[in-house]
Structures are given as C-alpha cells and as structure tokens.
Amino acid sequence: MPKLGAEPIRRAALVKATIETVGEAGSLEVTVAQIARRAGMSSALAHHYFGSKEQIFLAAMRSILTLYGAEVRGALSTATTAESRLRAIVSGSFAPGSFRRETISAWLNFYVLAQTLPEAYRLLRVYQRRLRSNLRHELRPLVGARAEAVARGLGALIDGVYIRAALADGAPDRAYALKIVTEYLDRELEVRE
C-alpha cells in the first residue's frame, strides 16, 4: 500500500538504523538485512533506494558529519570573540547530539571505512580540514605562529578523546571529555613572554 513520497522517509530511516546498528555491533560487519529490519523494511527495499551497502554506509557517514557540522555552527552562532568562538568549536564537538555512544562507535568505524573507501576518505578529510581551518583561524590572533600546531593538536586530541569514549564502559562522560580538551586549550592560551 504505497503512500507516495516514501523515499526520503525510508532513506532517513535507513541512515538512522545504520548508525544504530553499526554503533551497537561496534563493527561494520552488519548485514543490510539487519539494518533494513531495524528500519522496518525488507533488505530488497534498502537496496532499491541505495543501490549498495557501500552507499548506505556513505549516507550514514555524511549524516554524522553533517550533524557534527551543524552542532559546531550552532555553538558558534552566539560567539563573538576569537576565544569564545574557539571554545564554541570545542564544546560543539562534544554536543549531546554527536557525543553519544552509538554515534561515537559508528564514527570510529567510519574512520576505519575511510581506509578502504575513497569516498569515505574524502568525506573525513573535508571534515578534518574544515575543523583545522576553523581552529587555526581563531587561534591566529591568540597564539600567533603556534596556531597551526595548536590547531592540529586540538584536532588530534578531540579525535583521541572521542575514540577513548568509544571504548570506555558506561555512557560517555561529556563533562570529563570537555574538561580534558578545555584544559589543553587553557594551557595553550596562557600567553607568555
């Protein structure tokens, strides 16, 4: 009984189910059937809309990165000074929408996917470059020439805190994650000499 206009709903449901399934399984070795079942449809329909498992994964990854970007942009919207913008980027990175168990686990898996799938690699690089560029831009007036190195350090630290959260048992501790990254930033911002 086809209600028309199902496509976008189905696609969204599949993306959501993919993140959940991969997140729960902690692995990309999940079947299209599992994902489809979770999204309330047959695996044939999933293939009908996405063509391949690969495309399903890519769509899920895009969704995660888009959400992350929106989260950061949201945090950024109210900030004006360089320092407050910097802190907004950091805290946006750990916003509740992104910093959730399944999402983090899925993130880690997509990181691995980027080693194999060129398109996934490209997506991740875009995100990394944008993040670093944002950080560098705000850091420049605060730490001058060290901006590049600090931006890279911050980016790596954020990733590190993320994947450690994937492994920690229990719900990810947003406050603590934020504290670690914030302290790093605080130290770097204490201008000397």
Which residues lie near DNA (CB under 7 A)?
A: 1-7, 10, 30-33, 41-45, 47-48, 51-54
Residue 152 CB, shortest distance to its own copies, in Å, is: 6
82, 141 Cβ separation under 8 angstroms: yes
Q: Does 147 bind its own copies (CB under 8 A)?
A: no
The least distance separating DNA from the CB of residue 167, rounded to whole angstroms, comes to 24
Q: Which is nearer to its own copies, 24 or 76 (CB)?
A: 24
Q: Should residue 102 be labelled a site residue for its own copies when binding is judged by CB under 8 A?
A: no
Cα 116 to Cα 53, 111, 121, 128, 148: the distances in Å are 14, 10, 8, 17, 28
Instruction: Supply 112's token pair.
Output: 């691995």
125 binds its own copies (CB under 8 A): yes
Q: Which residues contact 56 (CB under 8 A, 6 or more apart)?
A: 14, 15, 18, 32, 35, 46, 50
Helix (H) or strand (E) holding 27: none
Tokens of 145: 């020439």
Total residues contacting its own copies by CB under 8 A comes to 41
Reading the block at residue 8, the tokens are 């976008």
Among 2, 5, 96, 192, binds its own copies (CB under 8 A): 192
What gap in Å lies between CA 193 and CA 186, rounded to an integer? 16
Binding region for its own copies (CB under 8 A) out of 19-27, 47-55, 62-70, 81-89: 19-27
Residues that bind its own copies (CB under 8 A): 25-29, 105, 108-109, 111-112, 114-116, 121, 124-125, 128, 146, 149-150, 152-153, 155-161, 163-164, 166-167, 179-180, 183-184, 187-188, 190, 192
